[in-house]
Amino acid sequence: MTLAHVLNDKAERHPEREALAFIPDINEGKIADRLTFGQLAERSRRLAARLAAAGFEPGARALLLFPSGLDFAVGFFACSYARLIAVPAPLPERSPTSIQRLAGMVVDAEPALILTVEESRETVREWAAGNGYRALPCITVADTADPSPDDVPLELPAPDDLALLQYTSGSTSDPKGVMVSQGNLLTNLDLIDSFVGRKPEIRVCGWLPHIHDMGLIGQLLYPVYAGGWLLQLPPLEFLKRPSKWLELIARHRIQCAAAPNFAYDLCARVTSEDQAAELDLSHWETALNGAEPINDRTLERFAKRFAPAGFRMESFLPCYGLAEATLIVTGRPAGQPVGKATVDPEQLAHGRLAPMTGAGGKILISSGTLLHDNVLIVDPESRMPLADGRVGEIWVTGASVSRGYWRKDEVNEEIFGATTTDGRGPYLRTGDLGVRDGAELYVTGRIKDLIISNGRNLHPHDLECALQEMAGDLPFGSSAVFAIEDHQVVAVQEIRGRQHDDLAQAAARLGLGLAQQFGIGRTSVVFVRPGAVRKTTSGKTRRSAMRQLFLESGLDPIYVSLAPGMSERLGKTPS
Give tens-digit pLDDT for 186-225: 999 999 999 999 999 999 999 999 999 999 999 999 999 9
pLDDT, position 498: 62
Give tens-digit pLDDT for 154-164: 899 999 999 99
How many of the other CB atoms lie within 10 Å of CB of 569? 14
Least confident of 130-134, 226-230, 448-452, 529-533: 448-452
- What residue type is assigned to position 562 of the chain? L
When pLDDT is cut at 50, 70 and 90, the band that residue 573 belongs to is very low
As beta bridge partners, residue 354 has: none
Q: How do the domains of the chain map onto residue ranges?
A: 3-240, 339-449, 451-570
As beta bridge partners, residue 401 has: none
Phi/psi of residue 481, each to 5°? -120, 135
| Distance separating alpha carbons of residues 391 and 383, to the nearest angstrom | 13
As beta bridge partners, residue 365 has: 340
- What residue type is assigned to position 246 of the chain? L
pLDDT, position 170: 56
Q: Is 243 within 8 Å of 271 (Cβ atoms)?
A: yes
* Superfamily (CATH) of domain 339-449: Luciferase; Domain 3 (2.30.38.10)
pLDDT, position 450: 84
Instruction: Assign domain 451-570 one CATH number from 3.40.50.720, 3.40.50.300, 3.30.300.30, 3.40.718.10.
Output: 3.30.300.30
Q: Is 313 within 8 Å of 299 (Cβ atoms)?
A: yes
Kindly write down the DSSP assignment for every residue of 440-461, as one continuous string: EEEEEEEGGG-EEETTEEE-HH
Q: Is 7 within 8 Å of 222 (Cβ atoms)?
A: no
| Distance separating alpha carbons of residues 508 and 505, to the nearest angstrom | 5
Instruction: Assign domain 3-240 one CATH number from 3.40.640.10, 3.40.50.11540, 3.40.50.300, 3.40.50.12780.
Output: 3.40.50.12780
- Nearest of 410, 41, 412, 98 to residue 88 by alpha carbon: 98
| Distance separating alpha carbons of residues 204 and 219, to the nearest angstrom | 7
Question: Strands, DSSP E only, in 71-224?
Answer: 85-89, 113-116, 138-140, 162-167, 177-181, 203-206
When pLDDT is cut at 50, 70 and 90, the band that residue 500 belongs to is low
**Residue 378: HSE in the Cβ half-sphere, 13 Å Cα cutoff:** 26
pLDDT of 77 higher than 70:
yes
Q: Is 196 exposed, middle or buried (0-12, 13-18, 19+ CB in 10 A)?
A: buried
pLDDT, position 94: 61
| Distance separating alpha carbons of residues 52 and 62, to the nearest angstrom | 12
DSSP H stretches of helix in 445-553: 460-469, 500-518, 543-551
| Distance separating alpha carbons of residues 83 and 56, to the nearest angstrom | 9
CB < 8 Å & 24+ apart, contacts of 501-509: 503/527, 503/558, 503/559, 504/559, 504/561, 506/474, 507/559, 507/561, 508/561, 509/470
Supply the DSSP symbol for 355. B
Residue 334 CB partners (closer than 8 Å, separation 6+): 195, 196, 197, 285, 286, 315, 317
Mean pLDDT of 104-133: 94
- Nearest of 73, 54, 172, 63 to residue 109 by alpha carbon: 63
Q: Do domains 3-240 and 451-570 have the same CATH topology?
A: no
When pLDDT is cut at 50, 70 and 90, the band that residue 367 belongs to is very high
Phi/psi of residue 155, each to 5°? -90, 120
pLDDT, position 502: 81
Residues 478, 482, 485: CA angle, nearest 5 degrees: 160
CA dihedral 405, 411, 413, 417 (to 10 degrees): -60
pLDDT, position 538: 64
Give tens-digit pLDDT for 391-402: 999 999 999 999
